[in-house]
């Protein structure tokens, strides 16, 4: 999985964004309300689209149809997350649209919170922690709502909603059991982990230098004859009604694409959806990587494999964006110097790419989030995921500016801050306020632009060698690459880092987050299971332990509160380099046991006393640890029967958008 965490812990401080704001953004910041809803541990925001007004009518039409194609994939993700998710959603939608229900009662308000959580998570499991969540209203009251909405409790619908033993986790990480059978995701049916792994081992060609992404777009089932087989997600196969609508809109987009590369890429993507042929998926990605000249870009398909306990199946995802030309200057400098960074990386020369090809990077502004990126979205993405394509043809990396800025603007609407609560000293706070935002953005750029594209596998090593630990280790590798180079003098020399000491703000924040702050998201008594959070804990915990003798990172207690303080930034950078070299070795050699040991030792278990303290301190701030977004509605402007423009309308109705999407884009 090549993306910055869907929900990084973004510190709630006034951000130094003036240098990267357009006049329209700066003028609109004071009057535009970013946070539109808050409930449970979540807040919902809306983002603006800087630069939309500068697009031509053709570019707007292109973006519009790409966005429509993206939104038609919504039902696919819901079904992928759990086979009963759509049944639950349809029942909840029916209740919300039923007149005559007393909406003022406390029980209904509890139901409403459940409904909002359900929409936010695209199903009955927490979008990040992946544990099942439950309504606070009594089961009997929920049953009365179903009755009023004329929804029958068929197939144990209330059991699915209320019984903790049914679908307890979306994706299980409990390797003591069968992680396929213990996971709610709808990627497998009637098969065991052993059977699935044996099946893929039997069809994969280890000598193929250009292997397809085996299993990316299929469900694995056991047939009536007892044989394991794959059922494709394609036109005429599983999810056909949704995929047909996606292809229809992609065809309309192809007709108004900006250039021939985009047209060829869309044609290949449509062919892939129609055939399910993963060679077509590779051909599409190779063509898609070539388009570095267009203003409008997109992601559409079964892309990231985080939701699959075995790391094969792609969750459906859609994304439409436009390039921020001014802000992209920084990432273009990084791309132009990619070979220098690869050559000077602190890893074994055997694992370095002799020639870095086709790395392109840019800063973008989101236009539409969909599928696995809606409503909770990454702030940085690097694709495609196939190692051989990245090596031979390159990759695209993006930092999503308007999403990052919305987090910052939204945090300014809140009076409290995790920075002032968890930072130890005034110096630390001031250092972050001065440099934190820019240092964090540069780390994101390095992570996405260069980190994921760095290194190479040794010949014969499978891309799936790391199994269930692959995602966390890959994110750790990219994060370590970024952390190491954030402090490099080359960054100042290139004019990217504004001050030689600016990186220290990122080091402070990363350690605070990895060792403490991020655990506000984990329920007490639960392990740390999400891949990005495992990555951050692994890095911070490993460096804390290895640097203990020299007190590189020191644990301090003041007034009954725990803090982690970086005492020696240079030695911490050396530790980042050491761990980067080891993680790259593990991936390059396919050393499953070493990767497992790193994750199980440093990334999973949370100290219960510290966990309790962190939760209590955070809850006292009355903040929400997770955030997500509603999309602007792109509305055609029609005069005399012709479309003369497309305008973004910034809705402030979270539930309204969820219900609209259910009606307009529901296909399954």
pLDDT for 488-523, tens place per residue?
999 999 999 999 999 999 999 999 999 999 999 888
pLDDT at 416: 66
Per-residue pLDDT at 26 exceeds 50: no
In a domain, 47, yes or no: yes
Per-residue pLDDT at 33 exceeds 60: yes
369-389: pLDDT as tens digits: 999 999 999 988 989 999 999
pLDDT at 174: 84
- What average pLDDT does this structure show over 643-661? 97
Per-residue pLDDT at 9 exceeds 90: no
Across 66-89, b (16+ Cβ under 10 Å) vs e yields bbbbbbbbbbbbbbbbbbbbbbbb
Per-residue pLDDT at 20 exceeds 60: no
Query: Where does the pLDDT of residue 17 fall: very low under 50, low under 70, confident under 90, or very high at 90 and above?
Result: very low
In a domain, 116, yes or no: no
**Residues written for the chain:** 668
CB 606 within 8 A of CB 620: no
Closest CA to 573 of 646, 485, 493: 485
Domain around 44: 18-51+324-629
pLDDT at 435: 95
pLDDT at 308: 96
The DSSP bridge pattern shows strands 395-400 and 380-383 to be antiparallel
Per-residue pLDDT at 15 exceeds 50: no
158-172: pLDDT as tens digits: 999 999 999 999 999
Interatomic CA distance for residues 358 and 331, integer angstroms: 14
Domain count, the chain: 1
Secondary structure element (H or E) that encloses residue 608, with its range: helix 608-619
Per-residue pLDDT at 69 exceeds 50: yes
Q: Rounded to 5 degrees, what are φ and ψ at 412?
A: -70, -15
The rounded mean pLDDT for the chain is 92
Per-residue pLDDT at 16 exceeds 70: no
- What average pLDDT does this structure show over 87-109? 97
pLDDT at 414: 67
pLDDT at 623: 86
In a domain, 90, yes or no: no
In a domain, 342, yes or no: yes
pLDDT at 659: 98
- In the three-class reduction of DSSP (H, G, I as helix; E, B as strand; rest coil), residue 463 is classed as coil
- What average pLDDT does this structure show over 14-40? 57
Percentage of the chain beyond pLDDT 70 is: 95
Long-range contacts of 326-330 (CB under 8 A, 24+ apart): 326/20, 326/22, 327/20, 327/363, 327/399, 327/401, 328/361, 328/362, 328/363, 330/363, 330/442, 330/445, 330/496
Closest CA to 208 of 585, 393, 461: 461
- What average pLDDT does this structure show over 615-621? 91
Query: Where does the pLDDT of residue 464 fall: very low under 50, low under 70, confident under 90, or very high at 90 and above?
Result: confident
In a domain, 63, yes or no: no
The answer to whether the pTM exceeds 0.85 is: no
In a domain, 25, yes or no: yes
- What average pLDDT does this structure show over 169-181? 91
The residue written with tokens 């100290």 in the block is 607
Per-residue pLDDT at 249 exceeds 70: yes
In a domain, 454, yes or no: yes
In a domain, 247, yes or no: no
């Amino acid at each position: 999985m090549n993306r910055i965490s869907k929900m990084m812990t973004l510190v709630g401080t006034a951000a130094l964004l003036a240098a990267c704001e357009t006049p329209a953004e700066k003028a609109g910041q004071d009057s535009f309300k970013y946070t539109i809803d808050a409930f449970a541990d979540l807040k919902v925001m809306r983002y603006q689209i800087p630069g939309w007004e500068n697009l031509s009518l053709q570019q707007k039409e292109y973006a519009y149809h790409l966005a429509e194609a993206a939104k038609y994939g919504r039902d696919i993700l819901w079904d992928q997350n759990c086979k009963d998710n759509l049944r639950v959603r349809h029942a909840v939608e029916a209740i919300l649209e039923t007149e005559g229900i007393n909406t003022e009662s406390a029980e209904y308000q509890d139901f409403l919170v459940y409904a909002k959580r359900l929409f936010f998570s695209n199903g009955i499991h927490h979008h990040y922690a992946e544990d099942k969540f439950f309504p606070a209203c009594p089961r009997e009251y929920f049953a009365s709502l179903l009755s009023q909405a004329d929804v029958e409790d068929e197939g144990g619908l209330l059991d699915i909603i209320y019984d903790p033993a049914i679908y307890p986790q979306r994706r299980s990480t409990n390797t003591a059991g069968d992680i396929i059978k213990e996971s709610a995701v709808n990627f497998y049916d009637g098969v065991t982990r052993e059977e699935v792994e044996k099946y893929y081992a039997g069809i994969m060609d280890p000598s193929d230098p250009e292997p397809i992404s085996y299993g990316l777009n299929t469900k694995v089932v056991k047939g009536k004859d007892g044989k394991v087989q794959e059922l494709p997600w394609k036109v005429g196969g599983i999810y056909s009604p949704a995929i047909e609508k996606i292809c229809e809109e992609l065809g309309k987009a192809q007709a108004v694409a900006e250039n021939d590369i985009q047209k060829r890429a869309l044609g290949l993507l449509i062919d892939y959806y129609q055939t399910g042929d993963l060679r077509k998926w590779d051909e599409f990605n190779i063509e898609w990587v070539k388009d570095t000249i267009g203003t409008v870009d997109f992601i559409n398909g079964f892309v990231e494999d985080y939701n699959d306990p075995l790391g094969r199946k792609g969750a459906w995802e859609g994304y439409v964006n436009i390039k921020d030309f001014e802000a992209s200057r920084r990432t273009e400098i990084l791309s132009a110097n990619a070979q220098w960074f690869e050559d000077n990386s602190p890893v074994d020369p055997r694992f370095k790419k002799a020639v870095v090809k086709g790395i392109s990077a840019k800063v973008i502004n989101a236009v539409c989030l969909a599928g696995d990126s809606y409503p909770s979205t990454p702030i940085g993405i690097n694709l495609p995921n196939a190692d051989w394509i990245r090596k031979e043809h390159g990759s695209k990396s993006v930092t999503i500016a308007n999403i990052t800025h919305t987090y910052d603007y939204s945090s300014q609407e809140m009076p409290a801050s995790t920075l002032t609560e968890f930072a130890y000293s005034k110096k630390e706070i001031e250092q972050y306020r001065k440099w934190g935002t820019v240092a964090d953005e540069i780390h994101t750029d390095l992570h996405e632009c260069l980190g994921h594209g760095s290194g190479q596998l040794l010949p014969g090593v499978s891309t799936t060698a790391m199994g269930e630990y692959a995602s966390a280790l890959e994110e750790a590798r990219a994060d370590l690459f970024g952390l190491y180079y954030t402090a490099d003098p080359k960054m100042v020399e290139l004019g990217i880092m504004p001050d030689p000491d600016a990186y220290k703000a990122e080091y402070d924040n990363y350690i605070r987050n990895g060792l403490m702050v991020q655990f506000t998201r984990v329920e007490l008594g639960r392990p740390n299971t999400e891949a990005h959070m495992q990555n951050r804990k692994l890095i911070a915990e490993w460096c804390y332990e290895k640097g203990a003798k020299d007190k590189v990172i020191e644990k301090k207690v003041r007034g009954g509160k725990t803090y982690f303080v970086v005492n020696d930034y240079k030695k911490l950078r050396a530790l980042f380099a050491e761990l980067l070299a080891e993680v790259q070795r593990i991936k390059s050699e396919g050393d499953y046991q070493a990767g497992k040991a790193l994750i199980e030792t440093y990334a999973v278990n949370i100290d219960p006393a510290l966990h309790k303290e962190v939760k209590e301190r955070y809850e006292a701030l009355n903040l929400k640890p997770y955030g997500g977004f509603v999309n602007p509605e792109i509305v055609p402007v029609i005069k005399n029967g012709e479309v003369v423009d497309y305008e973004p309308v910034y809705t402030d109705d979270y539930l309204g958008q969820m219900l609209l999407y259910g009606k307009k884009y529901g296909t399954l």
